[in-house]
Amino acid sequence: MHVDINRDPKLAKADHLFVILAEGDRELDVAPALRTLVDDAVRDAGFSGRGDESVTLATKAPKRTTLIGVGKRDAVSLRTMKGSLYQVGKLARKQRSKNIVVIWPYTLPGHDAESTLRLAADLLSHVDYKYAEFITVKVDDKPYPIDATLVAPQAVDAKRAKALTAEARAIAEGVRTVRDLGNAPCNVMTPAALATRANEVARAAGLKCTIYKKREIEAMKMGGLLAVNRGSVEEPRFVVIEYTPRKAKKHVALVGKGITFDSGGISIKPAEKMEEMKFDMCGAATVVGTIEAVAKLGLPIRVTAIFAATENLPSGSAYKPGEIITMMNGKTVEIVNTDAEGRMILGDALHFACRLEPDHLIDYATLTGACVVALSSEAAGIFTQDDELAQKLIESGERVGDRFWRLPLWDEYKDQIRSEWADMKNTGGRWGGAITAAVFLKEFVDCPSWAHLDIAGTAYAEAETSRDARGATGAGVRATVQWLESLL
């Protein structure tokens, strides 16, 4: 959906007005003509604003008006906003509306009117998102272009509205990149293709992108990435995207896990839901989408986005349990389970990132099923020893509905990955699986401020909900952008 923020929507051009209202609310801070329209619709429909209420009326200019209730006024939240905006998308598509006007009249807790508006516009532009690249027959499933005007309070003048629109679009475009990359099928989104797409996104945003191929990866001695890659006929890639604004005071490095398909390798996964392992590159997609958003926002922070990409497959040449692998930083790893491949490629990528001496280092990875067992799809796990970083990231995520929940990174857990034959094992057994994975990663990090985000539960949705579509979600982008802005 193409969204504009504007306090004076062109009603004559619109074909569908959506008004989201809490119980008993009438006095809307909108232009008089629009208010009359809403008042009449509310009266004609006998609309009360209850949470489960939604009515569509035939009106004049625009020809349809839909009223959506969100329940009690003091229960209005980001959750209800997301749900009602998603409903707007569904109803607009169902009616094949092409030019819509949307009123969300509330300021979210922890926000002001403008930041609410920016977030609402960003979310609204995603409500009709569908990955339809490979749909050829079911034409009704194909999205069509919808223009939306999100109505701003009267105090937001045209200039501010334009600026907020541009910001919302920058973020929404970053999120879209992540969703498109993540949803693409794994025969198409190979490591080489992921690198090529990342390069295209980077170029379009005016960023420098360096792609390292197999020979260069070998020259850098990235033993973890090369070990995981051995089972695949697809070459690995290592990608670095740089955003270097002139006025930057801080440097933040973002690292992503880019397993374009995770079969488990020799320690092969069960067949059920294995197709979901095409999403195992969502961490890589997140760093690409985030740096895109940051560049389009023009934030004065230097950002480097880094990802390692390979498939994890079984074959005669695949890495196997019992091997000992020497990683880029020289440490040795005894392979116990080839399905713990994410930490192998991230170990090298994190070491590479630390050499750049960033002020902060954040990694994004669909790393463990254990993290999904702990937190489900409601929050990603955050692991860090930097309390201030944890607090800021958690707060930033909370504001934009991109949640993190902290789990420990204590050295005590290192016992579980102790190896008889090497510096460490690549798995620590069943208990605390998300934590032992994080503790493993820590062995490859020597910069002062690092956080690991396990997005296994949040990066993609197994099914559609009342607030979001199935598939890649773009989790991590909004929280990271919010956090970067908080550093300014």
Residues forming a β-bridge with 382: 406, 453
Scan residues 270-309 and list those touching Zn ion (CB under 5 A).
280
Residue owning tokens 């197999």: 214
337 binds, among ligand BES, Mn ion, Zn ion, none (CB under 5 to 8 A by kind): ligand BES
Residues 6+ apart with CB under 8 A from 255: 283, 287, 306, 307, 346, 349, 350, 353, 361, 362, 363, 364
CB of 367: closest distance to ligand BES in angstroms?
Answer: 6
**Closest CB 473 distance from ligand BES, rounded Å:** 13
Contact 367, 282 (CB under 8 A): no
* Active-site entry in 130, 160, 250, 269: 269
**Nearest distance, CB of residue 312 and Zn ion, angstroms:** 6
Cβ neighbours of 216 (radius 10 Å): 13
Binding partner of 282, given Zn ion, Mn ion, ligand BES, none, CB within 5-8 angstroms per partner class: none
E-state strands within 136-192: 147-151
Using a 10 angstrom Cβ sphere, with 0-12 exposed, 13-18 middle and 19 or more buried, the burial of residue 322 is: exposed
Residue 237: strand, helix, or coil:
strand
Which of 303, 304, 309 has its CA nearest to residue 280?
309
Smaller CB distance to Zn ion: residue 54 or 183? Answer: 183
The residue number whose beta carbon is nearest to ligand BES equals 369
Binding residues (CB under 6 A) for ligand BES: these are 262, 280, 337, 339-342, 366-370, 372, 427, 433, 456
Our finding on whether 342 is near Zn ion (CB under 5 A) is yes
Of the pair 157, 275, the CB lying nearest Zn ion is at 275
Q: Give dist(CA 300, CA 448) in Å, integer.
A: 21
Nearer to ligand BES, 67 or 372 (CB): 372
Q: Which does 433 bind (CB under 5 to 8 A by kind): Zn ion, Mn ion, ligand BES, none?
A: ligand BES
Quote the CA–CA distance of 304 and 240 in Å, as a whole number: 7
List the structure tokens of 114: 């403008």
Nearer to Mn ion, 262 or 443 (CB): 262
Give the contact letters, 222-261, x = binds to Zn ion (CB under 5 A), - = no.
-------------------------------------x--
Q: Minimum Å distance from CB 405 to ligand BES?
A: 16
Beta bridge partners of 312: 262
Please choose which of Mn ion, ligand BES, Zn ion, none residue 374 contacts, taking the beta carbon within 5 to 8 angstroms, the exact cut-off set by kind. none
Nearest-angstrom CA–CA distance, 127 and 104:
14
What residues have CB less than 8 Å from 301, skipping those under 6 apart? 245, 248, 249, 250, 251, 252, 294, 484, 487, 488
Instruction: State the residue number with the nearest CB to Mn ion.
Output: 339
Q: How far apart are CB 153 and ligand BES at their closest, in Å?
A: 41
Q: How far is the CB of 458 from Mn ion (least distance, A)?
A: 17
Supply the minimum distance, in Å, between the C-beta of residue 414 and Zn ion: 22
Report what 441 binds from ligand BES, Zn ion, Mn ion, none; CB cut-off 5-8 Å by kind.
none
Helix (H) or strand (E) holding 306: strand 302-312
- The number of beta carbons lying within 10 Å of the beta carbon of residue 477 is 32
Q: Known catalytic residue: 246?
A: no
Nearer to Zn ion among residue 145 and residue 270 (C-beta): 270
CA–CA dist 318, 303 (Å, integer): 34
Is residue 366 a contact partner of residue 283, using CB atoms and an 8 Å limit? yes
- Please report whether residue 262 would count as binding Zn ion according to CB under 5 A: yes
Comparison of 308 and 328: residue with beta carbon closer to Zn ion: 308
Active site residue 343: yes
Enumerate binding residues for Mn ion (CB under 5 A). Answer: 262, 339, 341
Which helix (H) or strand (E) is 66 found in, with range? strand 64-69
Give dist(CA 154, CA 455) in Å, integer.
39
User: By CB under 5 A, how many residues form the interface with Zn ion?
Assistant: 4
Shortest CB 339 distance to Zn ion, Å: 7
Q: Which CB atom, from 125 or from 267, has the smaller least distance to ligand BES?
A: 267
Q: Considering beta carbons, is residue 122 or 311 the nearer one to Mn ion?
A: 311
- With CA atoms as reference, report the closest residue to 389 among 443, 448, 441, 347: 448
Q: Which of 343, 425, 442, 478 is catalytic?
A: 343
Residues that bind Zn ion (CB under 5 A): 259, 262, 280, 342
Catalytic residues: 269, 343
